Copies of this chain bind each other. A is one copy, B any other.
């Protein structure tokens, strides 16, 4: 079997650290061939029954981008209304998406009814199709980072509204809306941690035994 060296292993851990959520982008464009190279790693992801249920929409038109930004803004306003006092103030000050500046927007869907794979492995847990799509996104995210590209995952969106605005089939579920571009900042600290919203626990992982 293919072996991997200790040096490679420690560099992989470095990459996993640098694969962080980016919300501050430069507006410089991403070469389309580079974007394609990174997206090609989708095909190396696990997919249940080899169903490859990922569907990628590159949002390029100004009008469509604007609809996505507006979707985020209203979802974000509603989310803010759910917090009170200090939390609300903190929330209001957070930069939760880099949609305005990011040169590339990718809406990643799962085709919940793809015939590919003929349903193998997805009968009792059909959600594994969507999990396959998440796996592909992780491959893409790591690959993008090796090229210096940053990715930000926006989840503060009304997924049905986005699906309609992008005019994609009803059986496609939104899994992620990704902003892609060159990061403005060189930092390993997540923004939420910087402002004290939530901390990452720097500990070894716990498990339960049964």
Chain A residues engaging chain B, CB cutoff 8 angstroms: 1-4, 8-9, 11-21, 36, 39-46, 48-52, 55-61, 64, 75, 78-79, 82-83, 87, 91, 96, 106-107, 116-125, 127-128, 130-131, 134-135, 137-139, 141-143, 145-148, 153, 155-159, 166-168, 174-176, 183, 186, 190, 192-193, 197-210
Contacts and interface: CB of A to CB of B under 8 A. Distances in A.
A188 B15 CA distance: 24
Question: Within the oligomer, what is the number of copies of this chain?
Answer: 2
Contact of A198 (B61, B118, B153, B166): B118
A58 B96 contact: no
Given A120-B192, A208-B58, A49 B127 contact: no
A20 B45 CA distance: 8
Can you list the 3 inter-chain pairs with the closest CB atoms, starting with the nearest? A16-B44, A50-B198, A134-B134
Contacts of A16: 41, 44-45, 139, 143
